[in-house]
Amino acid sequence: MSRRQFALPERTSDTPLDDSGCTVLHVDMDAFYASATLLSHPDLVGTPVIIGGGGNRGVVLSATYEARRFGVTSAMPMARARRLCPQATVLPPDHRLYSRISDAVMATFASVTPFVEPLSLDEAFLDVAGAVRRLGSPATIGQLIRDTVADEQGITCSVGVAPTKFVAKLASGLAKPDGMVVVPRAEVVGFVQQLPVGALWGVGDRTEEALLRLGLRTVADIAHTPVATLKRAMGEAAGAHLHDLAWGRDPRGVEPVRRERSIGSDETFAHDVDDPAYIHRQLLKLSDRTAARVRAAGLMGRTISIKVRFSDFTTITRSKTLRDPTDVSRDIYETARGLFDALGLQRARIRLVGVRVEQLVDAGGAPIQGLLDEPDRGWREADRAVDRASARFGAGSVRPASLIDDRRTGFPRPPGDIS
């Protein structure tokens, strides 16, 4: 819970917490990208450090808690982060390191229970009901996980232990950094209802503003508002959802197999760009990268979308759904380029572009429609040959000719079409 802080209701007894029935754990690495990066910079531990792209046009990926005290947050423009905390050390991200540590942490989770639902590289839900007899109470298992991650990976994590996913995630936020909070079943309602409305799962800024306009400032206010009133004000589904959460009800179970809903890549430019030919090359690079990730996941997608962010941070998206799912770089690029060209931008100053593949399906069960002009060994086979070369010689070892100069210099080539 980075936006808002809250506390457990005061306890009137020294009786140990009853964690029976609290079989859902939410485990969240503490400042994961910053903590992992500092493993190779031990002299910077305890100091303000920001992880992110170099220069003032990058964004913050993560920051140590020492930097966060100055107001630095993830996704913040680097220029603003530097103004807030000029004494911070800025380090570049190391995504290979993050993936390696994440894989090891997820393997630790899997050694405890097969019911693991990753939410990102650095957090997951676990259902430990089946592990209690073997490993001890839920709180004992939570502490075991914390100790194992610290000993084997050299970073810390915080754990929330509760009867439901919603409450477990709130509890882990309260436990940060490097702690564990147990919310007994009997204390769930009191714990939830002392929160501000913005802490509820799914309540963003707009929903929070709407609730505040209704005079609903705490979760207790929502809980004691007739559900019919909530439905009229917020909509049928949202009103019922808010009412259930306000009473600590969350029927969702831990889903051990969680399919990615979309796969994509973004690129923030070092300088605002108004050259369509350069944008085309970036779309090609992003399409290649995205398609490779889609194929690596054994998936295909039917919908291709692009994101364009202008110099004033205004952002637009456009998408197109294909007749058949694809994992072919050429198909993704041509669709993305068509979407961009259809915008009709005339020398607009662009800060960022992105390409995303959505409506993902298993590649093994997806129909593959051949093209009339596609050779016997066509684009799909070429993509797989590139994948094999990349696996052997490294990512980017085989690239479209129009991107060679980009890799070497980082500057746009003279305007021209992509062959």
**Amino acid making up residue 316:** I
For 230, counting Cβ atoms within 10 Å of its Cβ (0-12 exposed, 13-18 middle, 19+ buried), the class is buried
Q: Binding site annotation covers 406?
A: no
Provide the token pair at 416: 């021209």
* Whether the Cβ atoms of residue 168 and residue 142 lie closer than 8 Å to each other: no
Which string of DSSP letters, residue by residue, matches 51-89? Answer: EE-SSTTSBEEEE-HHHHTTT--TT-BHHHHHHH-TTPE
* Whether the Cβ atoms of residue 164 and residue 157 lie closer than 8 Å to each other: no
Q: Binding site annotation covers 14?
A: no
How many Cβ atoms sit within 10 Å of the Cβ of residue 401?
Answer: 8
Strand runs (DSSP E) across 226-349, as ranges?
262-273, 299-310, 315-326
Strand 262-273 and strand 180-182: pairing? unpaired
Residue 123 bears catalytic tag = yes
Cα torsion 320, 321, 323, 328: sign: positive
Annotated catalytic residue, options 123, 152, 374, 381? 123
Residue 350's H or E segment, with its range, is: strand 350-362
Could you give the residue numbers annotated as active site? 123
Would you list which residues are annotated within the binding site for Mg(2+)? 28, 122
Would you list which residues are annotated within the binding site? 28, 122
